[in-house]
Amino acid sequence: MKKTKKKKRTFKIGSWIVIMLVAVFLYATYILFVPNVFTNSAEKTFLCIPENSSYTEVVHLLEKEANVLNESAFKQVSSMLHYGERIRAGRYELKANMNNFQLVRLLRSGRQAPVRLTFNNIRTKEQLAARISMQLMADSVSILKLLNDSEFLANYKLNPATSVSLFIPNTYEVFWNMNATQLFERMNKEYNKFWTVERKAKAAAISLTPVEVGILASIVEEETNNKADRPKVAGLYLNRLKKAMPLQADPTLKFAVGDFSLKRIGIKQILFISPYNTYRNQGLPPGPIRVASESGIDAVLNSAHHNYIYMCASETLNGEHKFATNWAEHLENAKKYQKKLNDLNIH
């Protein structure tokens, strides 16, 4: 009788242990594998974790970006997998209905989703730094600081005036958490890829360095939006350089005075003292007046051969130019353009 009672007690205890183990197993399965990430849109959702983020900050980001419904379950899985000790900065793509195990494993792994870094149509360093910082973890202040750091730029044989030459507008696949120094390293690699042996040979043929080509390209691009005209404009400026004539490029005056909206260039701008004033100073200015594009650079390297040394915007105001080989012809073109501006009351 006693043995029977003992067996029943043992059976009950064993049954409770089995039930508890099953319950633990089911709960562990639940917190590990039940979907817990519900993104807010049909588009891809990314979680960007800044450098030195705390575990609490990561949880807050997840609540905001991933709509994690069961925060407690996420925290338990994080504890099980020791995620709090292995937080890695980066940009991670979140999939709808990810479970906690998938989520924590992704964040622990550091397997980032790359960023397609894009920048174009940039005039100033400030604009460049701002545009890039909108797409990466690096802030605009840190990028701008290096763009003006003479000692740092010497590593790339550049200076604060020419630093933007390193940035060839394009789309680059990078990691979001790269810092400003890593950004420059990557841009230097892309710069060296861009300046092929063929391009360097073309630059040497017109007696310019790659940086000088970029400076001239920046002027050409500011001079005309018409890509078909750019090789002709580039050829004109090269003719002036060969003849030791001042470039007298109006865009350099706009850059010098800091006003790109100027419609007319007057004596005030022409007399403005600045190394970028190509009316007062002979040769190229100290640096680019915008971030030169690939097409602008190639327009200089493949410039048109002609005898033009003067040009003026067309009175049609359609972005085209009229070219001349002598002062008298240029004066006639200029009079027509000035008359059009007067007729439209543009000052």
Nearest-10 Cα torsion for 201, 288, 313, 338: -150
Which CATH number belongs to the domain containing residue 102 in this structure? 3.30.1490.480
Per-residue H/E/C for the chain: CHHHHHHHHHHHHHHHHHHHHHHHHHHHHHHHHCECCCCCCCCCEEEEECCCCCHHHHHHHHHHHCCCCCHHHHHHHHHHCCHHHCCCCEEEEECCCCEHHHHHHHHHHCCCCCEEEEECCCCCHHHHHHHHHCCCCCCHHHHHHHHCCHHHHHHHCCCCCCHHHHCCCEEEEECCCCCHHHHHHHHHHHHHHHCCHHHHHHHHHCCCCHHHHHHHHHHHHHHCCCCCCHHHHHHHHHHHHHCCCCCCCHHHHHHHHCCCCCCCCCHHHHCCCCCCCCCCCCCCCCCCCCCCCHHHHHHHHCCCCCCCCEEEECCCCCCCEEEECCHHHHHHHHHHHHHHHHHCCCC
In this structure, the number of other CB atoms found within 10 A of the CB of residue 70 comes to: 15
Domain-located, residue 316: no
Q: How many residues are given for the chain?
A: 347
Token output for 182: 């890593």
Is the Cβ–Cβ distance between 47 and 91 less than 8 Å? yes
Q: Does residue 179 sit in the same domain as residue 97?
A: no
Instruction: Please name the residue that has the structure tokens 């890509």.
Output: 227
Domain-located, residue 97: yes
Q: Does residue 105 sit in the same domain as residue 159?
A: no
Total-model pTM = 0.86
Q: Does residue 97 sit in the same domain as residue 125?
A: no
* pLDDT score at 318: 79
Is the Cβ–Cβ distance between 96 and 37 less than 8 Å? yes
* pLDDT score at 25: 44
User: Tell me: the pLDDT tens digits for 279-288?
Assistant: 999 999 999 9
Domain count, the chain: 3
Half-sphere exposure of 168 (CA within 13 A, CB side): 20
* pLDDT score at 301: 98
Q: Does residue 226 sit in the same domain as residue 302?
A: yes
* Helix pair 55-65, 71-80: axis angle to 10 deg: 140
Q: Does residue 82 sit in the same domain as residue 147?
A: no
Domain-located, residue 337: no
Token output for 73: 């379950």
Domain-located, residue 312: no
Q: Does residue 79 sit in the same domain as residue 123?
A: no
Is the Cβ–Cβ distance between 96 and 38 less than 8 Å? yes
Domain-located, residue 17: no
Angle among Cα 288, 293, 299 to the nearest 5 degrees reads: 95
* pLDDT score at 27: 45
Q: Does residue 226 sit in the same domain as residue 299?
A: yes
Residue spans of the chain under pLDDT 70 = 1-36, 40-43, 69, 347
Distance CA 323, CA 236 (A): 9
* pLDDT score at 269: 92
Q: Identify the domain boundary among 109, 129, 161.
A: 109
Q: Identify the domain boundary among 171, 194, 217.
A: 194
Q: Does residue 261 sit in the same domain as residue 276?
A: yes
Token output for 79: 């504890």
Is the Cβ–Cβ distance between 123 and 289 less than 8 Å? yes
Domain-located, residue 156: yes
Distance CA 75, CA 85 (A): 13
Q: Does residue 182 sit in the same domain as residue 223?
A: no
Q: Identify the domain boundary among 109, 142, 175.
A: 109
* pLDDT score at 101: 87
φ/ψ (deg, to 5) at 161: -75, -30
Q: Does residue 96 sit in the same domain as residue 183?
A: no
Is the Cβ–Cβ distance between 291 and 167 less than 8 Å? yes
Q: Does residue 190 sit in the same domain as residue 201?
A: no
* pLDDT score at 42: 63
Q: Does residue 176 sit in the same domain as residue 203?
A: no
Domain-located, residue 2: no
User: Domain range for residue 133?
Assistant: 119-194
* pLDDT score at 314: 86
Domain-located, residue 39: yes
